[in-house]
Structure 1
Amino acid sequence: MKWLYRIFSVFMAFLFAAPLVWMLVVSIKEEGMKIITVADWFKPPFSFAVYKEVLMGTKLTNWIGNSILVAVMVTVLTVIIAAMAGFALSKIPFRYRAVMFFFVLAGLLIPGEATIIPLYQVAKDMSLLNSYRGLVIPALASPVAVIVLKSFFDGIPNDLIESVQIDGGGVWKIFTRIMLPLTRPALASMAILTFIGSWNNFLWPFLSITDDNLFTLPMGIPTLMSQYSEDYVKPMVVNAIASVPIIILFVIFEKQIVKGISMSGIKG
């Protein structure tokens, strides 16, 4: 029976890897090659000249830098805010704490598309459009991260908190010395998922950014695709280059990504 599972696993791995292999092979073909059969795609000659042309002749590297900058800022600030909110909802007694938790929980029931018009109006009134601030600030509210981190904080015994309080430690010491180290796996998982979500975000940058120097990859790639509608090689080169950072991230943090998906209940 084990060999059936192995064969199935190899088949599924090949199925998921085939598009990546296809993209890489096509991206190193020479432009204008005559293609008659599928096998012609895998025959030499091969060339990296189109890579140089795309990197030097487009704003792709600038868009990659924008995506990395925005994703890192959103990830760091979101995790910090969600950790503090989750800690407050879990361990700090205050009036209407349960009401506040259900208020955060209700944020999961409202799709982002339903708030996009008022969000745009608020960003316009605050002069956030066409700026990095406009890309980062609206993405910082993450009910999923708050709820997941709160559940982890709930699992930490109150005896640890009381022992720190007896030694004279305040709320900030409890949060930084006890809570954050014990919830490091959850923090890492939420950080990775937040980074991927920000990296793939298209709708809000599409509405809030008109300056192509501030484009992120999800906005910039369709722009380049429209220029190469009759070509196969350049679109594949663009996608290959754009895929490198997120593939590296997945290879390094594969276990945390899988764990984060299982913790947050995201399926896909």
Structure 2
Amino acid sequence: MKWIYRIISLAFAAFFLIPLVWMLVVSIKKEGMKITSVVDWFTPPYSLAVYNEVITETKLLLWSWNSLFVAALVTLFTVIIAAMAGFVLSKIPFRYKTFIFLFVLSGLLIPGEAILIPLYQLAKEMGILNSYFGLILPALASPIAIIVLKSFFDGVPNDLLESVQMDGGGTFTIFRRIMLPLTRPALASMAILTFIGSWNNFLWPFLSVTDDNLFTLPMGIPTLMDQFTEDYVKPMVINTVASLPIVVVFLIFERQIIKGISLSGIKG
């Protein structure tokens, strides 16, 4: 039976790889070539001229860097803030803790579109529009990350924390040396989801940025597409170049990504 599952898995993998292979092949075709059949997509001549044009004459690489920079910082600070907040709500006794938890929980009930206008006005008054701060700061509040991490922290036995306290460990020591290592899968899961969400975010950057030097990929790519042409080469080149950073990130953190996704729905 194992070989049947392997064949099915390989078939599904090949099915999902076909669009990627097609994108790569089309991206090295000559622009403006006449295509009359499917075979024409995969036959010479090939050329890298459009790659050179896209890289040298557009700001696609800059936009890729902007997306990577913003997504990395949003992920880092969101996970740090959510981990500290989740730890406090889970293990630190204080007044009104239940009320604050319900307040954070209520953040899931409010659609993001409903706060765009007040968020824009606040960012304008703070003077952070058209800046990296304007792209990063509003994305750091993540109620779902706080709630998920709190649920994982709840699964850590209190007896373990009390034993650390008896040995002289303070709150920060417990958080850094006990809680974070034990909840690493949850942290990885939240980091992955946060990074993907920030990488694909379009609406807020579209509202808060007008300087094309600060565009992220979801904003910049549509400006490069010519809606009056049927040529496929340039769009495929743009998408190939834009995909490279996220592919590199996946290859570097492949093991953590797969483990984090597999445990994202499991309570610790």
Instruction: Give the TM-score category using the shorter length.
Output: over 0.9
Structure 1 unaligned spans of 5+:
none
Q: How far is the alpha carbon of 1:226 from its aligned partner?
A: 3.3
1:225 alignment partner in structure 2: 225
2:124 alignment partner in structure 1: 124
1:54 alignment partner in structure 2: 54
> Contact 2:189–2:264 (CA<8 Å) still a contact in 1?
no
**2:35 aligns to what SS in structure 1?**
coil
Does 2:204 align with 1:204? yes
Task: Give the TM-score normalised by structure 1.
Answer: 0.92
More deviation, 81-90/186-195: 186-195
Q: CA 1:229–1:34 in structure 2 vs 1: closer, same or farther (change >3 Å)?
A: closer
Q: Which amino acid aligns with 1:159?
A: D
> Contact 1:193–1:260 (CA<8 Å) still a contact in 2?
no
Query: What CA distance in whole angstroms lies between the structure 2 residues aligned with 1:77 and 1:196?
Result: 15
**1:107 aligns to what SS in structure 2?**
helix
Query: What CA distance in whole angstroms lies between the structure 2 residues aligned with 1:202 and 1:210?
Result: 13
Does 2:74 align with 1:110? no
Q: CA 1:179–1:2 in structure 2 vs 1: closer, same or farther (change >3 Å)?
A: closer
Q: How does 1:216-255 map to 2 (within 5 A)?
A: 216-226=216-226, 229-255=229-255
Q: CA 1:195–1:179 in structure 2 vs 1: closer, same or farther (change >3 Å)?
A: same
Q: How far is the alpha carbon of 1:99 from its aligned partner?
A: 1.6
Q: How far is the alpha carbon of 1:242 from its aligned partner?
A: 0.6
2:81 alignment partner in structure 1: 81
Task: Give the TM-score normalised by structure 2.
Answer: 0.92
Q: How does 1:62-81 map to 2 (within 5 A)?
A: 62-81=62-81
Query: What CA distance in whole angstroms lies between the structure 2 residues aligned with 1:257 and 1:148?
Result: 17
The aligned length equals: 266
**1:226 aligns to what SS in structure 2?**
coil
Q: How does 1:2-81 map to 2 (within 5 A)?
A: 2=2, 4-81=4-81
Superposition RMSD in Å: 1.9
Q: How does 1:179-190 map to 2 (within 5 A)?
A: 179-190=179-190
Superposed CA deviations along residues 107-147 of structure 1, whole A, max 9, x for unmatched, are 12222111111111111111111000000000001112111
Query: What CA distance in whole angstroms lies between the structure 2 residues aligned with 1:142 and 1:126?
Result: 21
Q: How far is the alpha carbon of 1:2 from its aligned partner?
A: 4.9
Superposed CA deviations along residues 10-65 of structure 1, whole A, max 9, x for unmatched, are 33222211111111010000112121111101001111221111111110111011
Q: Which amino acid aligns with 1:147?
A: I
